[in-house]
Structure 1
Amino acid sequence: MAKLWGGRFQKETDRIVDDFHSSISFDCRLYRYDIIGSMAHAKMLAKVGIISRPEAEAIVSGLTGIMDDIEAGRVEFSVAAEDIHMNVEQLLIERIGEVGKKLHTARSRNDQVALDVRMYLRDELDGLGQLLAGLIGELLDIAEKHLATVMPGYTHLQRAQPITLAHHLLAYCQMFSRDIERLKDCRRRVNVLPLGAGALAGTTFPLDREFVARELDFAGVTENSLDAVSDRDFAVEFAAAGSLIMVHLSRFCEEIILWSSAEFDFIELDDAYSTGSSMMPQKKNPDVAELIRGKSGRVFGDLTALLTMLKGLPLAYNKDMQEDKEALFDAVDTVKQCLKIFRPLVATMRVKKDNMARAARGGFTNATDLADYLVQKGVPFREAHEIVGRSVAYCLEQHKSLDELSLEELHSFSSAIEADVYEAIGVAHCVAARRVTGGPAPEAVQQVIQTARQRLAKYKAY
């Protein structure tokens, strides 16, 4: 096949070079954006008088037919045509003849691919935002059912203070809310039209870039032609935002894996989202959570690949930048796949309230509350901290918990302790007393859920 750019060449490229250069195997997914962008470009060329309106109509009609045929599976892309842009143009010329050769006027593949990738990522950002919003909504529903489900909170994976499952889940709602904000912010920088930058220096033709921006729903146009074709910051920015989404999913999955173990026994995963062992018949494995945790590394790798690809490139476009798409596509696909399966994973898990409550009563999670009780009785906090530390050491020797100590035993550590201490260090009271904004008390958590639902309504409109 003769190359559309082959005028100055005296011999054909080697077959191995064609295979090495070709990106059609992965950038074919951009076909819709390439065609829609080309339609807008053709309309603009007619608007400013570079081609006639009948020519633009013939181009748009031909492109519409190509899109229909691609979506119906009637098009076989050519490796020799290298990429989606040249494949579409070659098909257009075959179908409508000489007028098809006018489409590429005042345009380069450099600004064309930048346009396609931005349009693709813009749609994917919207879709990922909706998936995150759906996950947040699911977590809020679960949280409302568990406002009073007491569980231990941890630091250093050691039981620290009692909280509720609702409070724990809302921590992830906060993380995923920030993820949505990052995607929205990234979208703002994605949504700038690069078409019109040409290969690197614009064009002598009187283009109406603002018309194309309106046609394609871009907020504005790029202000520097060199930057327009060489910028992939937006892809890096998404990969970074996607990496953080995966960090949050991975942390949550790690807790699900722990909680579903016999050692914790806080939850049981649904059979539909678990797997077994080929050898050990008793096993029920949290493989979905483990695989999400593992897939985080793919997205981190995609981010590293994009950064490394860009770090040494002089302006403007370089062939290295063809490597942006596979990394970007993989990051998008991986994050999307993980979000889609994680939501039903948590929606179907069974919470073992009694086991959570039993764990919250162990490990001296009410020790801080005993110290706070002493402070309220007038004991300086540092002294109270030392008193409770000695009390805990005594409990460990006696194999007791703090609330199992008699008043006489407690008096031996501080005369400030009175009979009301037992209410103060009861686990349920420890949680309920933390009414501070952002705390685990049920009424505080309920208020946060209400605020989160209001914020969620705005996300769903995004």
Structure 2
Amino acid sequence: MPTGTEKFTSRLGSTPAFTTTPFSQGDPRQDREDALNRDLQLHKAHVVMLAEQSIISVETAKAILAELLELERLGIEAISFDSSLGLYLSTEKYLVDRLSADVAGRMHTARSRNDLEPANSRLYVRDKINQIVQALVGLKSALLLRATEHVETVMPGYTHHSQHAQPITFAHYLLASHDAFSRDIRRFEQAYAVVNLSPMGGCALAGTGFPISRERVAGLLGFDGLVENSLDATGHVDFLLQSTAAIAIALSNLGRMSEGIYLWNTAEFGMLELADEYCSISSIMPQKKNPVALEMIRGEGILVASQLNGMMGILKALPPGGGREWGYVHRAFPVCANTALGAIKTMAGIVSTLVVKPDVMARRAAEGFSTVTELADQIVRHADLSFRQAHHIVGLTTLEAAKAGKKADEITGAMLDAAAKEVIGRPLGLDEQVVRKALDPFENVRVRSVVGGPAPDEVRRMIEDRNAVLAQDTDRLEHRRRQLAQAAEGLQDAVAAIMHH
């Protein structure tokens, strides 16, 4: 009798290990809280600088900083956020209610929302870049670990989506994906260098006549320098385009990897199997194990490319200087960044739990004539023919073998001789052992020991080199985060110095 405790998803042995909702879905309240916290850092750095430059009095700075610290403790609910005012003016209203317009209003001296909002965005984007790089480091680590396990796992290499090309190893395939993600990290680091510059002090667009120190504010906030030209600082947000383009390329690379795994996970290929926790069931067909995690990665990557296209369309029609169009671009980036984080982390989980079937891979590698390029190479080596002549001979031999229903490993020296007589007018006379060796998928892989090739020893060398690069990626990420942490401590110390003046 039913007990009422049966698992609803009985086809799968585990619950999902990935979000089954869109990767970009977030919490609007938490997003406002985070935006307020970034604004508060900007406010504190600006007030410290105004006091240090004697633009406002220390007593005024102390009063403002005290309320900012209290707001930091209370959170977003304290300011009664008014969407018609936006975050900054809602915050200023909160301060005016507590301090008076004469005191609180001085915080906005030598500043505009036109430099404040891009600065807030840059703080957000640089943190997201570091998060994405960390996720990519995790994915690369998973790829290298699985590659180490499959250095000698021979499989077919494919071109034109599904056509047998030449034998490779699963490790060689994983390293190809790994190297694409390494380039993604370089792109994000290049974007970080553009993002981590301060627009503060650009004011509305023409700077200010007050004797501010833009460099001091930049240093307190952990920026590496300034967006120097005040109109450029406030009027251009191409840093968002560059960062989103890096995301779109990374998701394109993820999509390509997803496509291969998706195909090889099918019963027709049967070389891989997704772990249960990255699949879902059918509501009607009890046997179904749907690879929905891969489908989400592919689908959401397309949406990010569409977002990037929209962002570029908006900005190309915006002259330098402020405009409401900015808002659409600023709001698009978090969707893209969160999508990337979800997709990359999901792929790392897929790779780590993927069931690999070496016997099936080896069997597939022996099918489809993927070994015959090596046969042509052996003809060049042993029969003193050009590669094009050898190509014609092997092509004709393959045609006749396929007509006869033979597989690649059933090709004989006699068959080659028959084709050679048609192409060059004489037999080749290749030793049968040479033919057998050429048509062995494992031997195909072993002889391709050129730099970057699939030969096991070469792949082991590449894995070792890439583990060293992975450590360097991690070191650079930690260095960036240490710099930001040190800047945060410096800002805290600067605030304390004024509060205890």
Q: Aligned AA for 1:199?
A: A
In 2, distance between residues paired with 1:55 and 1:107? 17
Alignment match, 1:383:
389
Q: Which amino acid aligns with 2:389?
A: E
Following the alignment from structure 2 to structure 1, what is the Cα–Cα distance between the partners of residues 117 and 99?
Answer: 23
Where does structure 1 lack aligned partners over 5 or more consecutive residues?
Answer: 1-22
Query: 1:416 & 1:102 partners in 2: Cα distance?
Result: 94
| Number of aligned residues | 438
- Could you give the per-residue CA deviations for residues 400-434 of structure 1, whole angstroms, max 9, x where no partner exists? 12322344334434424113321232110000110
Q: Determine the C-alpha separation between the residues in 2 that align with 1:407 and 1:123.
A: 63
In structure 1, which of residues 428, 433, 441 is the aligned counterpart of residue 455 of structure 2?
Answer: 441
Q: Indicate the residue corresponding to 2:484 in structure 1.
A: none
Q: How far apart are 1:194 and its partner, in Å?
A: 0.4
User: Paired residue for 1:267?
Assistant: 272
Alignment of 1:117 onto 2:130: no
Report the AA paired with residue 90 of structure 1: K
Deviations 1:64-99 (A, max 9, x none): 22122117x665422232x22122222222333342
Amino acid at match of 1:117: S
Give the structure 2 partner of residue 19 of structure 1: none
Structure 1 residue 24, shift from structure 2 partner: 9.4
- Counterpart of 1:235 in structure 2 is 240
Distance, in Å, in 2 between the alignment partners of 1:237 and 1:301 is: 15
Q: Which amino acid aligns with 1:396?
A: A
- Pairing 1:3-402 to 2, within 5 Å after superposition: 29-70=34-75, 76-81=80-85, 83-98=86-101, 99-156=103-160, 157-377=162-382, 378-402=384-408
User: Displacement, 1:212?
Assistant: 0.8
Q: Aligned in 2, Cα 1:305/1:25: closer, same or farther, shift over 3 Å?
A: farther
One-letter amino acid matched to 1:87: S
Supply the distance in 2 between the matched residues of 1:87 and 1:139 (Cα, whole angstroms).
47
CA distance in 2, matches of 1:394, 1:368: 16
Distance 1:56 1:41 in 2: 10
Q: What is aligned with 2:418?
A: 412
TM-score (norm. length: structure 1): 0.91
Pick closer, same or farther for the CA change 1:62–1:94 going to 2, 3 Å: same
Q: In 2, distance between residues paired with 1:281 and 1:402?
A: 39
Q: Does structure 2 retain, via aligned residues, the 8 Å contact 1:66–1:88?
A: no
Distance in 2, matches of 1:227 and 1:74, equals 34
Once the two structures are superposed, what CA deviation does each residue of 1:101-145 show, in whole Å capped at 9, x if it has no partner?
211111000000011001110111111111101100100000000
- Give the Å deviation of 1:158: 0.3
Per the TM alignment, residue 287 of structure 1 is displaced from its structure 2 partner at its CA by: 0.5
Q: Deviations over 1:247-293 (max 9, x none)?
A: 01111111121111111111111111100100111110000100110
Partner of 2:493: none
Other-structure match for 1:451: 465
AA aligned to 1:170 is L
Please give the secondary structure, in 2, of the residue aligned with 1:344: helix
The one-letter amino acid paired with 1:459 is: D
Matched residues in 2 for 1:25 and 1:165: separation? Answer: 42
Q: Percent identity?
A: 38
| Structure 2: unaligned runs, 5 residues or longer | 1-27, 420-426, 478-501
- Alpha-carbon distance in 2 for matches of 1:186, 1:108: 25
Q: Secondary structure at the match of 1:160?
A: strand
Counterpart of 2:400, as a letter, is Y
Counterpart of 2:155 in 1: which secondary structure?
strand
Query: Is the 1:26–1:326 contact (alpha carbons within 8 Å) kept by the matching residues of 2?
Result: no
Cα distance in 1 for partners of 2:158, 2:261 equals 14
CA RMSD after TM alignment:
1.7
CA apart distance, 1:25:
10
Equivalent residue letter for 1:301: S
Higher relative contact order by CA 8 Å / sep ≥ 6: 1 or 2? Answer: 2
Distance of 1:65 and 1:337 partners within structure 2? 34
User: Comparing 258-267 with 408-417, which one deviates more in the overlay?
Assistant: 408-417
Distance across 1 between alignment mates of 2:39 and 2:205: 19
Amino acid at match of 2:409: D
Between the aligned partners of 1:352 and 1:266, the Cα distance in structure 2 is 5
Asked whether the equivalents of residues 194 and 222 of structure 1 are also in contact (C-alpha less than 8 Å), the reply is yes
AA matched with 2:263: L
What's the CA shift for 1:27?
5.6
Give the distance between the partners of 2:217 and 2:470, measured in 1 at CA: 33
Q: How much does 1:209 deviate?
A: 0.6
